[in-house]
Amino acid sequence: MTSPTDRYEMVVGLEVHVQLKTRTKAFCSCSTEYGAPPNVNTCPVCLALPGALPVLNAEAVRLAVLTGAALECSIECTSVFARKNYFYPDLPKGYQISQYDKPLCEHGRLQIGLNADAQPIVIGITRVHMEEDAGKSIHDRYAAATAIDLNRAGVPLIEIVSEPDMRSSKEAGAYLRVLKQILEYCDVSDVNMEEGSLRVDANVSARLRGETKLGTKTEVKNMNSFSGVERALESEFARQCAALDRGESIQQQTMLWDGAKNEVRPARSKEGSHDYRYFPEPDLPPLVLDQSWIDEIKKNLPELPRARRERFGTAYSLSPDDADALSASVALAEYFEAVARASDDPKAAANWVRGTVLATLNASSGDLRNFPVRPADLAQLIKLVRDGALSNSAAKTVFAEMAATGERPDAIAHRLGVLQERDEAAIEQWVTDVLAEHPAEAQRYLGGEKKLQGVLVGLVMKKSGGRADPKRVNQLLSARAAG
Partner 1 sequence: MSDAAAVGAVRNAFARMTEVNAGRDGLNIILWSDQASAERDAAAVAESDGPLAGVPVVVKDNIATLTLPTSCGSRILEGYVSPYEATAITKLRAAGAVIIAKSNCDEFAMGSSTEHSAFGPAKNPLDPRLVPGGSSGGSAAAVASGICRIALGSETGGSVRQPAAFCGVVGVKPTYGRVSRFGLVAFASSLDQIGVFGSRVDDAALGLEVIAGRDARDSTTAQHSVPRYRDSNGERLDGVVIGRPKEYFPESLDPALRTLCDRSLDALRSLGAEVRDVSLPHTDLAIPVYYVIAPAEASSNLARFDGVRYGLRIEGDGLRGMYEATRSRGFGAEVTRRILLGTYVLSAGYYDAYYKKAQGVRALIAQDFRDVFDAGVHAIFTPTAPTPAFAIGAKSDDPYEMYLSDIFTVTANLAGVPAMSLPIGRMNGLPVGGQVIAPHFGEPDMFRVAYALERALGREAHK
Q: Which of 92, 154, 156, 215 binds partner 1 (CB under 8 A)?
A: 92
Q: Which amino acid, 418?
A: V
Report the site for partner 1 in 283-342 (rule: CB under 8 A).
283-285
Long-range contacts, stretch 117-121, CB < 8 angstroms, 24+ apart? 121/171, 121/174
Residue 277 near partner 1 by CB under 8 A: yes
Tell me the C-alpha distance between 305 and 348, whole Å.
Answer: 22
Q: Which of 87, 116, 119, 436 binds partner 1 (CB under 8 A)?
A: 87
Q: What is the DSSP string of 132-191?
A: E---EEEEEEETTEEEEE-SSTT-EEEEEEE-S-B-SHHHHHHHHHHHHHHHHHHT----
Q: Which of 8, 95, 175, 335 binds partner 1 (CB under 8 A)?
A: 95
Q: Cβ of residue 268: shortest distance to partner 1, in angstroms?
A: 13
Residue 44 near partner 1 by CB under 8 A: yes
Cβ closest to partner 1, residue 151 vs residue 391: 151
The secondary element (H helix, E strand) that includes residue 107 is: strand 105-114
Contact pattern for partner 1 over residues 146 through 185, marking x by CB under 8 A: x-x-------------------------------------
246: which strand partners? none
Q: Cβ of residue 37: shortest distance to partner 1, in angstroms?
A: 17
Q: Cβ of residue 93: shortest distance to partner 1, in angstroms?
A: 5
Residue 279 near partner 1 by CB under 8 A: yes
Residue 49 near partner 1 by CB under 8 A: yes
Residue 93 near partner 1 by CB under 8 A: yes
Q: Cβ of residue 21: shortest distance to partner 1, in angstroms?
A: 23
Tell me 50's DSSP state.
T
- The H-assigned helical ranges of 417-466 are 424-437, 439-446, 453-463
**How many residues belong to the site for partner 1 (CB under 8 A)?**
29
Q: What is the widest separation between alpha-carbon atoms in the chain? A: 102
What is the number of other CB atoms lying within 10 angstroms of the CB of residue 406? 12
Tell me the C-alpha distance between 77 and 297, whole Å.
Answer: 13
Stretch that binds partner 1, among 164-172, 193-201, 273-281, 460-468 (CB under 8 A): 273-281
CB-based burial, 255-277: b 16+ in 10 Å, e otherwise:
bbbeeeeeebeeeeeeeeeeeee
Stretch that binds partner 1, among 69-77, 272-280, 363-371, 391-399 (CB under 8 A): 272-280
Cβ closest to partner 1, residue 87 vs residue 369: 87
Provide the CB-side half-sphere exposure for 107 (13 A, CA). Answer: 4
Residue 282 near partner 1 by CB under 8 A: yes
Residue 51 near partner 1 by CB under 8 A: yes
Angle at 333 between CA 327 and CA 334, to 5 degrees: 160
Cβ closest to partner 1, residue 23 vs residue 274: 274
Tell me the C-alpha distance between 281 and 99, whole Å.
Answer: 9
Q: Cβ of residue 86: shortest distance to partner 1, in angstroms?
A: 9
List residues binding partner 1 (CB under 8 A).
Answer: 44, 47-56, 83, 85, 87, 89, 92-95, 146, 148, 275, 277-279, 282-285
